[in-house]
Chains A and B, each alone.
Chain A
Amino acid sequence: MSFIAKPVARHPKMPVNALGLTTRDYEGTMSTLCAGCGHDSVTAAIIQALWEMNIEPHRLAKLSGIGCSSKTPTYFAKTAHGFNSVHGRMPSIAAGANAANREVMYVGISGDGDSLSIGLGQFCHAIRRNVNMLYVLENNGVYGLTKGQFSASADIGSVSKGGTPNLQGPIDSVSLALTLGATFVARSFSGDKAQLVPILKAGLLHNGFAFIDVISPCVTFNDHKGSTKSYAHTREHMHEVVETDFVPLRAEIKADYAKGSTTAVTMHDGSVVRLRKVDEKFDPTDRRGVMDYIAECQSRGEIATGLLYLSEAGKDLHGFENTSDRPLVKIPYSELCPGSAALEELQKEWV
């Protein structure tokens, strides 16, 4: 059986958040992924972000498709509702759920096979629809559960465990998301929790589709020499473009940044995301500039990371649909049914 409950014992002196919960309260069942899997580090970063943000777990909905990455929602927030759906189709479940209940916070976890091959269409349309959710793509360049076939994110020339080089060009999720008009686009690395946690926090509060591609190496099938998605390769070639500081609502802003190097973006709820540019030329609010910058990095074999693009100005699904501020699931039936008199009136036109 792949279901392993975690013991609930905890250290009495573990710090608690504003809800009185420890990080243990944001954990899930025991991971059944391979030891050293990048996905487990992403899970740990999500737990940290949720805990730090004082999110009530039961107001969270975790969704996924199929694959190694899609197993991970069971490994965090055990008192949140989860939906492990079908391969590549999680975005549509999230869109329907979000349309029905806009009060719940949505976290989708996907992988490169799930989002860039079988689910490429749904991924693209969730961006177009700007479904208000955090969408984490755990990107390792291979199909893990079926034992090591290349995925659509594998770079040309990246070598499989058996020694075969990949010949077809990759689909770069970050460039694609930018092209499609995504309002929050980030890339990070499972091995860099310090970078990932603030991006996750900003993504949770973003009003719209917050997309984070996390390079998350597969230790079993894609962590060898010649792979461009290995721990070693990613560490060596990642180039942090912006550093993200997440300043929650009501928190005092203490840090003092050099003028001109920081962009502050106020989130929907009033929290602030400060983006400190490592490279002066980079502007995380200029979509075309970001796309050019990423392309330049790629041509040098570098992987640009950080919260690369952010705009809080776009309409989300509910903005497009002009939906009631009250979640549709909370509207009483008496307000939904027009009743017999209206039916009688309507049918006067049918004679």
Chain B
Amino acid sequence: MVQPSGCGVNDFALKIATVNGTGSASANSLLLQALFRMGIPVTGKNVFPSNIQGLPTWYEIRVNKDGYRARSPDFQLVVAVNPESYARDIESVTAGGWVVYDNTRELVDEFRRDDVTFIGVPLAKMCIEHVEGSRIRILMKNITYVGALVALLDIDMDVVKGMLEEKFAAKKHLIKSNFEAIARGHDYVKERFACPLPIRVEAMGANKGKVIVTGNSATALGCVYAGATVGAWYPITPATSVMDGFQEYCESFRVDPVTGKNNYAILQAEDELAAAGMVIGANWMGARAFTPTAGPGISLMSEFIGLAYYSEVPGVFIDVQRTGPSTGMPTRTQQGDLMLAAYASHGDTKHILLFPSDPRECFEFAVRAFDLAERFQTPVFLLSDLDIGMNDWVVDKLEWDDTFRPDRGKVLSAEDLAAAKNFYRYLDVDGDHITARSLPGTHPKGAYFTRGSGHDKYGRYTEDSDAYTEVMLRLRQKIDSAAEHVPAPDIRRAEVPTTLGLVSLGGCHWAVLEARDELAERGVHFDYMRVRGFPFGKAVEDFLAAHETVFVIEQNRDEQLKKLITIETSCPKEKLESVTYFGGQPLSKGHVLRGLAPHLEGKLMEVGS
């Protein structure tokens, strides 16, 4: 029997409401890291505005002893530090919960609730009394609420102290001032309120072999490990930190110690069109090149993506999805680019897509994306999203196999070309639909014309129907053959045989897992398949065929994954049901349960029965 979540030790969610641009991010990550170091399963979600300074921003922390990692919108505790958002922040606390607020100015009555406990801490007042300088005061105010939470939640003070010592190892005077601020918050609360609260933490051992990392950092590291040498990009939320990460890791690992010169190039393009062109140009020369972007960038790159598809130039396109259409909500998450990416560009095109569900898969799939792009000589999309890309995730430590060698696909060397009788760029000589390519500058026999205009299998310009058709048919077979090379679906069988299936992808995974467990406890069992790549392979077909009803859970309005399944598999449309949430927050268990509920009427046992 499962306990209702959010009711006690190592099982609750809290939300910290601050003003963006005030340095609260470092206080919040300190908190997350402290919980991590106590060995407790923890998840952090940053809910931020498209703005640099002055607007409301939130940081959500979920602690869950069972390791559920999806966002939980049921906050037992809210730290309300931003008067502008007091009303909705206080509103968002679950009944019986707690509100920590800054009582330097007393709360007006209209914000009061009878069903929650208010814990006033004079954050601003204490900082004014003890800290000099307005900027430092603002920063210390954030650290002070961390101190209050240390007392209220029973966080290990020694852990916090150790982290401050590490963080400010180079600026020792800051250790003292930060720790004093924490102590002030801690002592104030401890003296006046019953500490800890019923929601509190206890050290566990759940984080052995785990690390805290964002998806974008992991993706960037994957690009480095894959051997990418050229990154081209145009700044865009939420993908910017991919290139920030690539630059950081390249500065660590890719600067020649003797010459001081870079074994990489990062080209900040004038727009996403140019970024795509640079990726294609570099790959054409034989470099591994990529671009990180978001949906608006993919829209702009679409013409070039068609060129790369048709002229068979590899390229890795990292789409950290955000809420569309148009500019949409740039700092909110969605899975709205599935259809766009699958068929980007005019004419008949289809692309290889990879769907990571967490930073660990971002790392692994980034490496695979380059291998697939070169093996199939085509654009490959890594479809991450804002939640995976920008939030801190606790994942198993990344691993690397030193025997790994990149799959460069069919690239002819100077010796191959010298020995060859003929070289025709688009001639399928071995029947696997993939033709050998040559790189410029290698050998005179390797010369050919890369073009987006009609060409025959010999690489010559053509306007001939049959010659054009032949190449187009081979391209279709080539992309279809990638289905068995993309990451296989993650399939989890129910404990009892069932005819019901769940299908989902990407960051939805964590909410689906949690909802599925809860439904199993209530007597409804689902087999579950998380697709991890496109085109869909046989395992996907088999799963769909083996279930009478399949619920497709995704984060967009238009049921894009369901549509892709309908178009690209033999699964009859009638047996697919859709569960969607597209409001911009990471998916939570409740979204899944509410979406499934109408289909499960009369089937669910009461909890505890």
Q: Which A residues contact B (CB, under 8 angstroms)?
A: 1-3, 56-59, 61, 73-74, 78-86, 89-101, 103-104, 121-122, 124-125, 129, 317-318, 321-325, 328-329, 331, 333, 335-340, 342-343, 346-347, 350-351
Contacts and interface: CB of A to CB of B under 8 A. Distances in A.
B402 A333 contact: no
B442 A89 contact: no
Contacts of A94: 281
Given A96-B280, A323-B261, 19 more contacts: A2-B461, A3-B461, A80-B440, A81-B450, A84-B449, A92-B273, A93-B278, A93-B281, A95-B277, A96-B281, A96-B289, A100-B281, A104-B285, A121-B274, A322-B260, A324-B256, A337-B227, A340-B402, A347-B397
Interface string B386-423: 00000000000111111011100000000000000000
Contacts of A340: 399-402
27 contacts: A1-B464, A58-B443, A58-B446, A73-B449, A79-B444, A81-B440, A84-B450, A86-B307, A91-B274, A92-B232, A92-B275, A93-B280, A95-B274, A95-B281, A96-B279, A96-B282, A98-B281, A101-B440, A125-B270, A331-B263, A333-B406, A340-B400, A340-B402, A342-B253, A346-B221, A346-B249, A351-B211
Interface string B228-246: 0110100000000000000
Contact of B463 (A1, A79, A328, A333): A1
A101 B277 contact: no
Contacts of B397: 347
A351 B281 contact: no
A307 B267 CA distance: 30
Contact of A81 (B36, B280, B402, B448): B448
Contacts of A329: 229, 285-287, 439
The interface residues of chain A, by DSSP majority, are classed as helix
B230 A100 contact: yes
Contacts of B283: 96, 100
Contacts of A3: 460-462
A328 B260 CA distance: 15
A323 B265 contact: yes
Given A96-B232, A323-B262, A336-B254, A61 B441 contact: yes
A-B pairs, top 4 by smallest CB distance, nearest first, are A92-B277, A96-B281, A96-B278, A100-B287
A85 B452 contact: yes
B517 to A, nearest CB: 28
B609 interface: no
B227 A333 contact: yes
A86 B304 contact: yes
Nearest to B287: A100
Nearest to B451: A84
B442 to A, nearest CB: 7
A113 B535 CA distance: 38
A85 B270 CA distance: 18
A89 B277 contact: yes
Nearest to B210: A351
Contacts of B36: 351
B266 interface: yes
A347 to B, nearest CB: 5
A93 B444 contact: no
Given A95-B278, A329-B286, A343 B398 contact: yes
A64 to B, nearest CB: 9
B37 interface: yes
Given A324-B256, A351-B211, A333 B278 contact: no
Contacts of A336: 224, 227, 229, 254, 263
Contacts of B265: 99-100, 317-318, 321, 323, 328
B326 interface: no
B365 interface: no
A101 to B, nearest CB: 4
Of the four ranges (under 10, 10 to 19, 20 to 34, 35 or more), the interface on chain B belongs to: 35 or more
B428 interface: no
Contacts of B274: 89, 91-92, 95, 121-122, 125
Contacts of B230: 96, 99-100, 328
Given A86-B303, A321-B262, A104 B229 contact: no
B259 interface: yes
B447 A100 contact: no
B211 A347 contact: yes
B59 interface: no
A322 B402 contact: no
A83 B451 contact: yes
Given A3-B462, A95-B281, A121-B270, A58 B444 contact: yes
Contacts of B262: 321-324
A84 B225 contact: no
Nearest to B397: A347
Contacts of B229: 100, 328-329, 331, 336
Nearest to A56: B444
A98 B279 CA distance: 11
A331 B449 CA distance: 25
Contacts of B561: none
A96 B450 contact: no
Contacts of B276: 92
Given A86-B307, A324-B256, A337-B225, A92 B278 contact: yes
A337 to B, nearest CB: 6
Nearest to B307: A86
Contacts of A331: 229, 263
A343 B398 CA distance: 8
Interface in B124-174: none
Contacts of B453: 84
Nearest to B400: A340
Nearest to B37: A351
Contacts of B405: 333
B247 to A, nearest CB: 12
Contact of A100 (B225, B289, B303, B443): B289
A338 B224 contact: yes
B267 A99 contact: yes
A101 B285 contact: yes
B427 to A, nearest CB: 16
Given A57-B444, A101-B287, A325-B259, A343 B282 contact: no
A322 B399 CA distance: 31
A266 B382 CA distance: 47
Contacts of B280: 85, 93, 96
Contacts of B448: 81-82
B284 interface: yes
A145 to B, nearest CB: 12
B277 A85 contact: yes
A50 B342 CA distance: 43
Nearest to A321: B265
Contacts of A89: 273-274, 277, 303-304
A129 B275 CA distance: 13
Contact of B284 (A78, A97, A323, A325): A97
A26 to B, nearest CB: 12
Contacts of A56: 444
Given A84-B449, A324-B259, A338-B253, A97 B281 contact: yes
Contact of B285 (A97, A317, A321, A339): A97
Contacts of B282: 96-97, 99-100, 328
Nearest to B367: A337
A168 B398 CA distance: 60
A104 B447 CA distance: 13
Contact of B400 (A57, A323, A343): A343
